[in-house]
Chains A and B, each alone.
Chain A
Amino acid sequence: MTVLRAIDARVIVSLVVVLAASGARAQSVAFKHQATVYRDAKDGKLSAPEGVACNDAGLLVIADTGNARLLTYFVKEGAVTPAAEVKVPQLKHPVRLQLDSKGNMLVLDRKLRKIARLDAKGAFQGYVDLKPAGVTEVVPTSFKVDRGDNLYVLDTAAAKVFVADSSGAVTATLPLPADAGAFMDVAVDAGGIVYVLDAVRATVWSAAKGATAFSPLGKSFKDYASFPTYLTANNRGVLLAVDQNGAGLVLLGQDGSYLGRQLSLGWTDGLLYYPSQICLDAQGDAFVADRSNNRVQMFTSIAQ
């Protein structure tokens, strides 16, 4: 199986993939290893980091899951500099991270099954408490924040995606498709299209802005992914799925078509071992929480 084959990181890391996203002119993107974050400001080791968030101001936040903390870094000209540690008792097992437009941190705690909200300095502000009609309790599996600070919460126990505005008021509820495997993530692109990712069947479903139901987006990409668990969209609308068990990234067009696969299994810089989350900034840099390698890696994605 090709995903099992590791390639040497000293060679340029990844494949060059032709991105021909739905009718747009063909573009190429290469992912190249830029830097690796192994330590905090006090030279403490990262442990099984599962979350990573970044913004255009050069802020990088890591959910250092194994150490039950968040770490902040500054990114400038390809260099990543440690900043601060955020360790609050309200976070037991931080996993997925998002930043809102003000630099506030939203983090999913898998143990507590809650989304915590921290301000830009790391002070705990409370847990997100959505109150959709007819639902006793929202139990988040995953979530995303869009540019307007709207929150998209995937609740697989309720089999729904709840959309809430920045005040926490639920503005829409989307039922998850019934005929599916296991939904692992929700994503939203710049145009407001909401996506959900089924890891078991390796399929993406989408709902256009204002739609009341999801419909399948293209075919299953099971031939190209083992167990995709995280989904995000870049600023061109290309979808990137993190293939946790296959140690790589799968790129999909806006119509769900398979565009290519990047990165592969390994332990040296540039390779992945059970990756869990990816964050893309406006410069096209990508940060990958490389969980079982106990590190976060930075890649430059070069449009060609």
Chain B
Amino acid sequence: MSARPFILVLAVAALAGPAAAAPPAPKFKLKPGAAGQVCLECHPDFADRLKKPFVHTPVRSKDCVGCHNPHASDHGKLLAADANAICATCHKDVVAKNAKSTHPPATQQKCGECHDPHASNAKANLVKAGPDLCATCHKTLVDGAKASKFKHRAVENGCGSCHEAHASATGLKLLKADVPQLCLGCHKVDGPILMKKHMNYPVAKARCTSCHDPHGSNVRGMLYNTVHAPVAKGMCGQCHEAPGSPRGFEPKQAGLALCRGCHVQNINKMMDKNRLHRPVTEGAACLSCHGPHASKEKGLLKADMRTVCGSCHADTIKRGDMSVTKHEPIKNSECTSCHDPHGSDAALMLVKAESPELCGKCHDWQKHSSHPVGAKYVDPRNKNLTLQCLSCHRAHGTEFKSMMPYATVPETCTKCHEKFTR
């Protein structure tokens, strides 16, 4: 059988095909390039943007109407939808539903905080390249990393070495994996050098970030800047069983008993107070608030005081946050300016029982140039009280000015000076 008729049929079909698939004639008699090329006539600055190395696909294909309505819109910049939602029309599932951690700009669909919707010099249309972008929000962290004496190479290669940008399915804090798995990807802790550095302890199962600052540090070994003395001296055996012991990494004793070995004087002093802060003796004891190895914070605190103290005293933190007038120690998370976190003879674990003495540490001049306060002056509202700073102020603030418990100054004063009440 000859193949000629069959080839002919194919040829006819090939010719007929494009004609059948051709788009219908433009409904609105649009000019050629109406979807974007025409826009450039009035927006010539886009010519430069199009030369940038990274151009958003709709922009490159001159499809402005992919995002903008050429005539009118309910949204700024003639966007076809809300600026926070329009990216999701193409970029779906940027944040996985079951993510373990998420980046707020991604979950809040504030894509424009990190990405330029048109073009950029940085990959992925980022508005800035590398850590400079992250520093927009995480300035302290990025600046700290740059200034640190001992730098982490992964940080120098960019935050994306360890962190996802939008969400992480497996790690906290957007980490690409949990610690230590993430760290073990680069650091072979079972090698002779790191084994020796870790005194032969099996650290492969330990949490690296309990000692090391992954963003860099001024302490050799990238330990956090505050290091517990036995760690700094490599004397792990002071607290832990020997490496290779059947109890592994276990501490030699539990809780307070272990810490008492070195901190006996401090612990005896706090135990002798009328009030002992409960975490001292309960649960993880000292480790309720302190890290055992190294910390960013003074006193080896697990986190800043606002976070540590606020884990139990959230009501007090909330009161401070709501206060119209901010008290400096509270604003600066310096709870220990006024409270002893271990034990005290005074109520509320205050470092001094009398508020003029306590407040006078910072407000010295008000001890002698203010409203009479002190033991000689009885509070007219209550014969068992003397006038104190706290007679008219609440240290963590109120919803009223000057941390006063009443809305106005006259209202406060006339609680005692009743004859002036109007």
Contacts and interface: CB of A to CB of B under 8 A. Distances in A.
Interface of A: 1, 4, 6, 38-39, 45-48, 92-93, 110-111, 113, 139, 141, 156-157, 181-182, 200, 226-227, 245-246, 265-268, 274, 291-295
B332 interface: no
B315 A246 contact: yes
A181 B391 contact: no
Contacts of A92: 274
28 contacts: A1-B319, A1-B399, A4-B398, A4-B405, A38-B383, A39-B384, A47-B384, A92-B274, A111-B274, A141-B278, A182-B278, A200-B312, A200-B314, A227-B316, A246-B315, A265-B405, A266-B405, A267-B379, A267-B385, A267-B415, A268-B381, A268-B382, A268-B415, A274-B347, A292-B347, A293-B384, A293-B385, A295-B382
B416 to A, nearest CB: 9
A139 B280 CA distance: 13
A151 B242 CA distance: 45
A93 B344 CA distance: 12
**Residue among A4, A6, A293 with max Cβ neighbours from chain B (10 Å):** A4
Contact of A156 (B282, B381, B385, B394): B282
**Residue among A6, A226, A267 with max Cβ neighbours from chain B (10 Å):** A267
A281 to B, nearest CB: 24
B347 to A, nearest CB: 6
B355 to A, nearest CB: 11
B273 interface: yes
A117 B355 CA distance: 35
Interface in B387-414: 391, 394, 398-399, 405-406
Contacts of B316: 226-227, 245
B275 A110 contact: yes
Contacts of A227: 313, 315-316
Interface string B271-286: 0011110100110000
Contacts of A45: 384
Nearest to B406: A6
B322 interface: yes
A110 B274 contact: yes
B127 to A, nearest CB: 40
Contacts of A156: 278, 282
Interface of B: 273-276, 278, 281-282, 312-316, 319, 322, 347-348, 379, 381-385, 391, 394, 398-399, 405-406, 415
B384 A291 contact: no
A291 B347 contact: yes
A267 B319 CA distance: 20
Contacts of A182: 278, 312
Contacts of B278: 141, 156, 182
Contacts of B379: 267
Contacts of A294: 382, 384-385
Given A4-B405, A200-B312, A293-B382, A111 B273 contact: yes
A15 B319 CA distance: 23
Contacts of B312: 181-182, 200
Contact of B315 (A46, A93, A226): A226
A294 B391 CA distance: 13
A4 B382 contact: no
Contacts of B394: 4
Contacts of B347: 48, 274, 291-292
Given A200-B312, A293-B382, A295-B382, A1 B322 contact: yes
Contacts of B391: 267
B376 to A, nearest CB: 15
Nearest to A39: B384
Nearest to B382: A267
Contacts of A111: 273-275
Contacts of B275: 93, 110-111
Contacts of B274: 92-93, 110-111
Contacts of A38: 383-384
